[in-house]
Structures are given as C-alpha cells and as structure tokens.
Amino acid sequence: MKIKKTLFIKIFIYLMALRSPLILVSMFCYMISTRDLIKKFVINALPFCLFLVAAILYSLGNLNAVDNVLGESRDILLSVFVAVFLLSCCDVSDDNRKLIYKTLKATFVFIAIVKVLILIFSVVTGVPMPLIISWIRDSWNIQMMSLGVEGTFLARLQIPLDSAVPFFLYFVTKELIFTTEKKYRVITAFVFLLISMLLTLSRAFWAETILFVGLAILFEAGIIRAFRIALVSVITTTLLLLLTPLGSLIFKLIDTRFGKTSMANSASDLERVWQNQMLYNSFIDSPVFGHGLGYFIPNAMRSITTPYLYESQSLSMLMTLGVLGTLVLFLLYVFLCFKTIYNDNNGRLKIIVPAIFLVMWVFSGSVNPLLFGASGGVIIFLTAKTSSLYKRDDAQDL
C-alpha cells in the first residue's frame, strides 16, 4: 500500500504535541519525498543556523557549560525548524496549507477533549486532579503545570503547546465568521478551545484569547456584524454566568488568578519580580553582547535540569544574547514572517495583525518560558500566515 506523502506532515504535527524528537524523522521523510521543499527549507533556515553557530562559539568562549549552551540552542533551532518546515510545506502546495490548518485544529481540539476527560474522570472517581496531572507528567514525560482551585475539584491543565492556542483562535474565529454550512462543527471546536484556555489558569493566555478573538471579529466581520456578535456574546456570557452552575466555577477560576487573597498568586508574582530584577542586573553587566547562550544566575534558577530557562524568557534572552544578539535574532524572525506575508499577498504587506502577533509572542515569552521550542515555532508560523492560513474560500472545503 502506497503511503501518502502528506501523512508525514500530519505525523509531524501530532508528534509536536507530544514533544517527541521523532518530529525530525517525519520532517526529513517528507523533505526527501518532496525535493522542491529542501531548497526552500535550507534558504529560510540558513540565516538562523549561521547566527546560532556564531552565538554558540561566543558562548563557549565565555566558558558556559556545553550542555546548557546546546540545550538553549536546540530550543531556538526547534522553533526555527517547525516554523520554516510548515511554511515551506505551504509554499509547495496550497493543499498543504489547508491540511496544516485542519491538523493543527484537530490537535488543539484533541488536547482540549483530553483535558475535559481528565476533569470528568476526577469528578467521577474522586481522584484529585493534581494527582492525575502528576501521574501523566511522570508516566508520559509531558510537561504539565499544576495549580489547584480552592473550594473546587478543578486544577490547572497546561502543556507547552497551549501557548499557541490563543494565536490559533484568531483563525478559528475567522472560520466561524465565514462558515455557513455545518457551522456546529466550528462552534464545537471553538468552545473546546476556549475551555482548554480557561483550564490553563494562565492570566496571560486568557488575555491573549480575548485579544485575538476580538481582533478577528474586528478585522474580518465588519462593523455591523462585529456589533451583533459582541451583543450576542455579552448576552450569552451573562446568562451563562448568572443562571447556570458554570457561573460559580468560572468566577472561582477567575478569583484564583486575580483574587488578592490568593497566596499562590502573591508568591508567584513576587518571585517573578525578584527574578526579573536579577535578570536585569545581569543584563546590565554585559548589555551589548550578553553572557552567551546557556548562561544562568546561580542563585536565581527556575529549574535544576534547565537552569538557563526563566519565566521571563524574553528578558533572559537580553541577558544571554545582549541587545545586539537579541535584535539580530528577532529581526531574522520578523524578516521570515514579513517575507512570507509579502509573497502570499502578491507584493502587498499587511502589517497590523502580524505586528500584534509578534508583540504578543514576545509578551507571552515574558511571563512563560515558552518563547521558543515547538510552541514558539507554531506561533511564528501563524504570524507569517495571518492573512493566508485560513481564507474565505476555505469555508466550502474545511
């Protein structure tokens, strides 16, 4: 039986959600079977590779630990490979673009369904959610953050790839606006993704979700339709919060992350402020070139296994690469995104939405150590495809 080449793209995305190194195998399998893609991939990835080689040599010259230098370089390179591979696949075939959108949506929805099933399992069996999360984390080696909600059976359900979901909701909202047939499918996916974001208990993800859904409505629906959508949303949300049991749960979720009495919030915020001050002080010591990749502050480590990772990864990049290195790396990502946008729009540049995407990517990296890696690569891919990942004509096909 002949295997379809596009299966490797699907496998790549599925394995990405599992944080499996086998994504490189699926990527190379598709590249070998599609020779046109190799040239595009190399051209787009080469500037990043040259930059990383220079950064690694500088870092090793500063006597930073080899494991840490290679570990941080790997995270950056993974984001580049994910973004460039998906963009190159879209360049090769428009069918690939549609396939990637559908597969990403299916992956994110599947993750949301798993979260809901964990929630249901916890309620039915009485097993605390933090215990289930610990079991999944230890058994499957999946990074999941945990935080209980006082007075409820709920707890934080968050994996690294969740950081890309708010950005992806921009496109799902577009699909919701343009789709006329079988709209219930899109609505179901949209609701599951909202639930998934709610269960992350991340204030940053909540803010980004509201922003990107609102942004899609504002830019794609038109003024009159946007007003109608906003009115219906406000009425529906009000009824849901005030007249159903879900209301009290949602209010408790919000209070857990915004309430002044939450000890977890206070401790987390104080630690972040202290850590940011330490990062800033270290940055001032070497502001131009930085201390090199893999560098960390011994008395301000977030993790023993990955000491170079900080909650404010955006600020830590200034510490490691300095203003010059950070600016060069950021401009490489910007150039990749806007070159794609320029080509997708026949020589026209659409700046506003992708610029907001990039700003929110940096913002997200300032409160979560998820700037790079697979999730960062997906965000860069979505930024480059803001105007073309989902098109109005796709409403008939997806």
DSSP string, 282-317: HHHHSTTT-S-TT---GGG-S-SSSTT--S-HHHHH
Residue with tokens 């690694």: 56
- Of residues 318, 332, 327, the one with CA closest to residue 290: 318
Are 7 and 103 a contacting pair, CB within 8 Å?
A: no
Residue 108 has pLDDT above 60, yes or no: yes
DSSP classification of residue 164: G
* 63-83 per-position pLDDT tens digit: 999 999 999 999 999 999 999
Mean pLDDT of 317-327: 96
- Of residues 45, 38, 47, the one with CA closest to residue 91: 38
From 209-213, 246-250, 337-341, 348-352, the region with the lowest mean pLDDT: 246-250
d(CA 25, CA 29): 6
Mean pLDDT of 336-347: 90
* 14-66 per-position pLDDT tens digit: 998 888 888 989 999 999 888 889 999 999 999 999 999 999 999 999 999 99
Residue length of the chain: 398
pTM of the model: 0.91
User: How confident is the model at residue 140, as a pLDDT?
Assistant: 60
Output the average pLDDT for the chain: 86
- Of residues 20, 18, 192, the one with CA closest to residue 117: 192
User: How confident is the model at residue 192, as a pLDDT?
Assistant: 92
